[in-house]
């Protein structure tokens, strides 16, 4: 077999050098294009994020005027688009507002960014420029703010926090648009009242609401522990059900520092009369029920023999079938509920203090959960805010955690992370938010968290 002559590499060296020189610009262009376009995509993604943050900030701040909205948009844009990010220069160009007759506020934002190239500049392509436009629509909201006025806020484990509650509540309200958003205010203790009702037209009076909040009275020490949460929740639900021309977005924000232990209804007594009022227990594992208290007042006890005082367990004939303090024939929410999976309630028969104590406490908790679920099923989001350590300690005859109840009221998906609560999450119902403020310093961040979620839901 004839052998091939050996390759003489010397003759190829010059050709390789020539080819390298000829292809070097192309190689640099390919490498530069990959690197610089990759950086541009990163910068543009950051720009989208900054525009999104600016849009939400503008929607949130427009309640205090367009200039406040633009200022907030610029502030959040700058915070989310750092200067010289990957050799880029970003500019928020415009923040424009538009309004329609339904109370919708459109927010148009556009921004540009110029990215200096690292490699393509050698070939004469100094920079890439990107332009982003976005429009968001901020829908009006109907919101009921429900505030616990029991005196445990004054004499609780973290001291007097009443002024913090007042200040944070007012700050929260100031983020809603007076011309478009409707706000109602409910307060509760032994009973509940509605200091500010929804208006028929869109909008609300901020001064009326802040004046009503300033007028909150948290009472005296001796009635500190008694929380008729279901009465407050019922008043909020009633506001939502009776508002004219409701907004597409409806929200109840429910604030408390303790678990429910009091409920109202019509009660039949041994004197042959039926009285409307509230029976209270406390947060201990046992105790003496006391009543009746007016369900339409913060802390006023009914007076007279036979239906008032610590001997109520001997004078009460039986428990009613349903919650019905506003209408004796009302039968929507159960008092007697022997099949309840967590807190069964059977009829009161033996006229003993301990038996009535357990039943009243269970009813108080069942009712507020049932009312919150009714609100969700009717298209209203329920947000719950809890304050202080009592919510993370066991209380009542069944040794429950108060914050578990607030999680259920909100139908917060965080329940899925808790084996004991996962089965209580309703995947087919609206998801709300529960926030726990460990002390008064955490109240502001909790209100802010809820505000951010509400603003996002309006968009």
* DSSP symbol at 337: B
pLDDT by residue (tens digit) across 343-363? 999 998 888 899 999 999 999
CATH number of 141-264+287-457: 3.40.50.410
For residues 103-121, give the mean pLDDT. 79
pLDDT at 84 > cutoff 70: yes
Determine the distance from the C-alpha atom of residue 347 to the mean position of all C-alpha atoms in its chain, rounded to a whole number: 36
Q: Report whether pLDDT(158) > 50.
A: no
| Peptide bond preceding 292 in cis form (omega within 30 of 0) | yes
Q: Which residue has the tokens 């543009």?
A: 44
Taking only the tens place, the pLDDT of each residue in 386-426 is: 998 889 999 999 999 999 999 999 999 999 999 999 999 99
* 184-188, 246-250, 347-351: range with lowest mean pLDDT: 347-351
Q: Does domain 19-138 have CATH number 1.10.20?
A: no
70 burial type by CB count under 10 A (0-12 exposed, 13-18 middle, 19+ buried):
buried
Two structure tokens written together for 111: 């921004």
Residue 237 has pLDDT above 90, yes or no: yes
Digit-coded pLDDT (tens) for 16-37:
555 556 565 655 555 555 555 6
Q: What gap in Å lies between CA 415 and CA 412, rounded to an integer?
A: 6
Task: Find the helix packing angle between 353-377 and 229-242, rounded to 10°.
Answer: 30
- Dmax of the chain from CA atoms? 129
Q: How far is CA 391 from the centre of its chain?
A: 17
Domain boundaries, the chain: 19-138, 141-264+287-457
Contact 149, 428 (CB under 8 A): no
Give the mean pLDDT of the chain: 86
pLDDT digits (tens, 9 = 90+) for 267-278: 998 888 899 999
pLDDT of residue 305: 54
Q: What per-residue confidence (pLDDT) applies to 47?
A: 86
**Predicted structure pTM score:** 0.82
């Amino acid at each position: 077999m004839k052998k091939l002559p050996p390759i003489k590499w010397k003759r190829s060296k010059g050709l390789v050098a020539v080819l390298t020189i000829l292809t070097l610009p192309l190689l640099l262009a390919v490498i530069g294009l990959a690197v610089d376009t990759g950086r541009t995509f990163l910068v543009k993604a950051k720009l989208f994020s900054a525009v999104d943050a600016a849009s939400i900030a503008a929607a949130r701040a427009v309640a205090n005027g367009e200039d406040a909205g633009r200022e907030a948009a610029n502030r959040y844009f700058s915070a989310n688009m750092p200067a010289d990010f990957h050799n880029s220069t970003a500019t928020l160009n415009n923040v424009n507002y538009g309004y329609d007759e339904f109370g919708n506020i459109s927010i148009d934002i556009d921004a540009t960014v110029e990215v200096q190239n690292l490699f393509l500049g050698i070939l004469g392509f100094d920079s890439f420029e990107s332009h982003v436009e976005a429009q968001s629509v901020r829908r009006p909201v109907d919101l009921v703010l429900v505030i616990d006025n029991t005196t445990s806020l004054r004499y609780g484990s973290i001291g007097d926090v009443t002024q913090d509650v007042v200040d944070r509540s007012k700050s929260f309200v100031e983020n809603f648009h007076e011309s478009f958003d409707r706000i109602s205010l409910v307060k509760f203790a032994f009973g509940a009242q509605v200091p500010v009702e929804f208006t028929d037209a869109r909008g609300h009076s901020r001064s009326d609401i802040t004046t009503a909040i300033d007028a909150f009275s948290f009472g005296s020490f001796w009635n500190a522990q008694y929380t008729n949460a279901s009465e407050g929740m019922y008043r909020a639900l009633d506001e939502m059900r009776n508002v004219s021309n409701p907004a597409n977005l409806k929200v109840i924000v429910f604030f408390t520092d303790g678990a429910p232990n009091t409920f109202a209804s019509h009660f039949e007594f041994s004197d042959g009369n039926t009285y409307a009022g509230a029976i209270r227990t406390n947060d201990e594992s046992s105790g003496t029920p006391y009543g009746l208290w007016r369900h339409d007042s913060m802390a006023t006890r009914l007076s007279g023999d036979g239906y008032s005082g610590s001997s109520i367990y001997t004078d009460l004939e039986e428990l009613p079938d349903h919650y019905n303090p506003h209408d004796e024939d009302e039968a929507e929410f159960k008092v007697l509920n022997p099949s309840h999976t967590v807190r069964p309630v059977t009829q009161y028969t033996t006229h003993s203090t301990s038996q009535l104590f357990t039943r009243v406490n269970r009813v108080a908790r069942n009712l507020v959960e049932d009312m919150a679920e009714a609100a969700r099923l009717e298209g209203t989001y329920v947000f719950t805010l809890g304050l202080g350590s009592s919510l993370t300690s066991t209380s009542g005859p069944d040794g429950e955690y108060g914050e578990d109840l607030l999680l259920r009221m909100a139908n917060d998906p965080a329940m899925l992370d808790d084996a004991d609560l996962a089965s209580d999450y309703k995947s087919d119902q609206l998801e709300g938010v529960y926030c726990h403020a460990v002390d008064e310093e955490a109240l502001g961040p909790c209100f802010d968290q809820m505000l951010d979620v509400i603003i996002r839901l309006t968009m």
